[in-house]
Structure 1
């Protein structure tokens, strides 16, 4: 009778954004829980967002997975390296909005999130590109960009998800519509809008929903344009935006596809997962099943 093969531990590279809302207090707890779940953990500090992808690439040959503790911006910074290396990602939601975790039903409790990583169930998800800048949740033009600029780190730390609402009301008071041409295949849509969103995932902005039928593994991008003329109309729309049913309103134009082009009269900034990364004209496309994530078993 031959001996049973020795099971080796999964080697995990652990990177925690200690600037995230709950990062500093959770890092030791997360490392100990991962070890308790049977993983061999290598913890690395990464002080700058722009260094994160390079750190993952430099350790790729010596690890089996990456575990990142942080918010959506930190996960977005890791996306280029995940695409390059094919390493599975474990998510510890420690940010303010945690929209990717929300989309994937990953709990915000760090120990419960570690248990999912320990169980090892893998799910392939899509990733979006905005002029080759990857995003998990949503890319936006207009209101989403101005909100990112208004939402300071101090506001997120002090108010949490409520900080989005506080900053949002400040931005709305000075919002002005802009014109955009949206191209999808042979279709051309002209829109006078305050906010244009191109969603890859389901949730964004602290719990808003891209579309009622959006999924992060459906191989398409969901687009909507808000053509409201007053702040009050937008406030009326907000409950529908949380549910994802705003596409039923005539003030909202929607479409979907694998590749979308957006043109504006002058270059406008594009926000991807809470970071301003590129400008219009912008070509958006989806990469189906491009990244592997540890998620709850179905």
Structure 2
């Protein structure tokens, strides 16, 4: 077998870590090629050129993984190598969803087990994501996080940014459609369309959450301030979540119409638009899992 390793030194991947990972898995392969990213877009480009490899091993965080996914989705299904993740970022949300160890050599040992699992991919217009699409409070939180807090505090930095945004969140109007069917119309403080089960290291705890069921999880709420905090705490504590302000449903496709352009967060990547077409690409990628 042949393996391509895409390593992001900026995510905290040291030469020692890289050496430990290679030492753990090298007996599996006849050839290992290592490519290190230097700037945004490198992982995307490397993934596009990975069709001749059996395994593609990503050493990095959620941003590096997002680039890899977008690169792989340009390949035909049968050309896409199986993906192994060595978490090296701040949150590593999809690695957590796959229940992978955060410690590098332990994660590398999972690759040696060669247990494979199909995973769905979210398609957002011409972009792809594994974990989530966020609008409103979710997008504003990740965009406004202080870089110093992110580097020094990790996931706690996301928590602090969330608290700040609770005070400043403004509702916005959306329409959710599935073909000719109007699913929802009204003001919301956030929209979450998810496939993974973690957001900023915090488990979403949606009862129907699965990354391999061919369905998207759609959650939106019109509450802000303390009611929003109370609702989120109830969800995390497993309490009754019934509320007229809180809506959750599943679908394989949803069209999002916004009255004005909003910042959109797709697995940590940000842009502005007033319209999104979101669908699930069922079992589009294969991952090495416990």
TM-score (norm 2): 0.91
Return the alpha-carbon distance in structure 1 between the equivalents of residues 50 and 282 of structure 2: 25
Instruction: Confirm or deny: 8 A CA contact 2:2 2:29 kept in the other structure.
Output: no
Could you say what secondary structure the match of 2:32 adopts?
strand
- Structure 2 equivalent of residue 261 of structure 1: 255
| Map of 2:37 onto structure 1 | 46
Aligned to 1:149: 143
Q: Is structure 2 residue 119 aligned with structure 1 residue 129? A: no
1:211 aligns with 2:206: yes
Residue deviations 1:194-234 (CA, integer Å, cap 9, x gap): 110001222222223162221000101110102113x1112
Matched, 1:158 2:149: no
Q: Which of 6, 13, 18 is matched with 2:9 structurally?
A: 18
Paired with 2:176 and 2:222, the residues of 1 have a C-alpha distance of 14
Which protein is richer in strand relative to its size? 2
> Residues of 2 paired with 1:278 and 1:40: CA distance?
42
What is the number of equivalent residue pairs in this alignment? 284
Alpha carbons 1:155, 1:163 under 8 Å: kept: yes
Deviation of 1:94 (Å): 1.2
For residues 238 and 280 of structure 2, the distance between their equivalents in structure 1, rounded to whole angstroms, comes to 20
Select which of 68, 73, 86 maps to 1:78: 68
Q: Which runs of 5+ in 1 are unaligned?
A: 1-9
Whole-angstrom CA distance in 2 between matches of 1:49 and 1:261: 29
1:24-39 equivalence runs, <5 A = 24=14, 26-36=17-27
**1:198–1:74 CA distance, 2 compared to 1 (3 A):** same
**In structure 2, C-alpha distance between the alignment counterparts of 1:278 and 1:74, rounded to whole Å:** 21
Partner of 1:6: none
Alpha-carbon distance, 1:146 to partner: 0.9
2:46 matches 1:55? yes
**Structure 1 position 36, deviation (Å):** 5.0
**In structure 2, distance between residues paired with 1:94 and 1:202:** 19
When residues 70 and 64 of structure 1 are mapped into structure 2, their CA distance, relative to the original with a 3 A threshold, is: same
RMSD over aligned Cα atoms: 2.0
SS in 1 for 2:201: coil
Counterpart for residue 187 of structure 2: 192
